[in-house]
Amino acid sequence: MFYQTIDILGTVAFALSGVLVAMEKRLDMFGVLIIAFVTAIGGGTLRDLLIGNTPVVWMRDLTYVSTIFITVVFGILFVKQLKYLRKSLFLFDTIGIGLYTMVGIEKGLQAELSPIMCIALGTITASFGGVIRDILCNEIPVIFRKEIYATACILGGASYFLFTQFPIQESYAYVLAITIVIVLRLLAVKFDIRLPSIYRKKLD
């Protein structure tokens, strides 16, 4: 129940980020729904396909589809209030990657994968929905920019396996890892911490 709650919360956060992006692009109702949907389930779909967990989870459990529909309706009705929240899109996206990183790691553990593969699976789960969202909305995906994004997922995922070596409950390690992903992302943006870029000078 604990892990499914985290999964649903991540679905809500990513669906809201999709709604906000779609409405900023002035898409119609169908466009808003599609962007919210692919943002929320894109990473999880790729994850399930990679580990052979088919049909993918949202096809077997309509809770996810219903959650996305309800979130889209809520986002559309209260979009003005959401826009009053400073950087609300960034906030929902950040919460989403924190939650989904650990959902992906949990799925990897269930599939008996190594810690490194679990972290990779968590990063894919957290990032790929946003990649699809940005591509469909004609934006460069944030994961390909200099911002700390996937790096936060990797470090947060690694911290989970570190915490499990201590005598604490697994659920505490889970929550601490989620917190680390979110805090790292927030600090990176607040203090403009970026990964170095390699620019190739144009030849004359």
Q: Is residue 59 part of a domain?
A: yes
Q: Give 79-134 pLDDT, tens digit per residue.
A: 877 766 546 678 889 999 999 999 999 999 999 999 999 999 999 999 999 999 99
Residue from 157, 165, 145, 164 nearest 182 by CA: 157
Q: Is residue 30 part of a domain?
A: yes
Place of tokens 């200099």: 146
Structural domains of the chain, count: 1
* Cα 174 to Cα 4, 161, 200, distances in angstroms: 13, 9, 41
Q: What is the dihedral of CA 83, 190, 162, 166, to 10 degrees?
A: -80
Give, rounded to a whole angstrom, the gap between the first and last alpha carbons of the chain.
61
Radius of gyration of the chain (CA): 17
Region 158-179: mean pLDDT is 95
Q: Is residue 37 part of a domain?
A: yes
pLDDT at 204: 45
- Tell me phi and psi for residue 138, to 5 degrees: 60, 40
54 pLDDT exceeds 70? yes
Q: Is residue 116 part of a domain?
A: yes
- Residue 179 CB partners (closer than 8 Å, separation 6+): 98
Q: Is residue 195 part of a domain?
A: no
| Coarse DSSP helix, strand, coil percentages of the chain, rounded to the nearest 5 percent | 75, 0, 25
Q: Is residue 198 part of a domain?
A: no
76-110: burial string, b at 16+ Cβ within 10 Å, e else: beebeebeeeeebbbbbbbbbbbbbbbbbbbbbbe
- Do 13 and 95 meet the contact criterion of CB atoms below 8 Å apart? yes
Q: Is residue 42 part of a domain?
A: yes
Q: How far apart are CA 197 and CA 91, in angstroms?
A: 25
Boundaries of domain holding 157:
2-190
- Residue 157 CB partners (closer than 8 Å, separation 6+): 101, 102, 105, 118, 119, 122, 123, 177, 181
Angle 172-158-104 from CA coordinates, rounded to 5°: 75
Q: Is residue 89 part of a domain?
A: yes
Residue 202: which pLDDT band, with cuts at 50, 70 and 90?
very low
Q: Give 16-41 pLDDT, tens digit per residue.
A: 999 999 998 999 999 999 999 999 99
Q: What is the dihedral of CA 169, 175, 74, 126, to 10 degrees?
A: -120
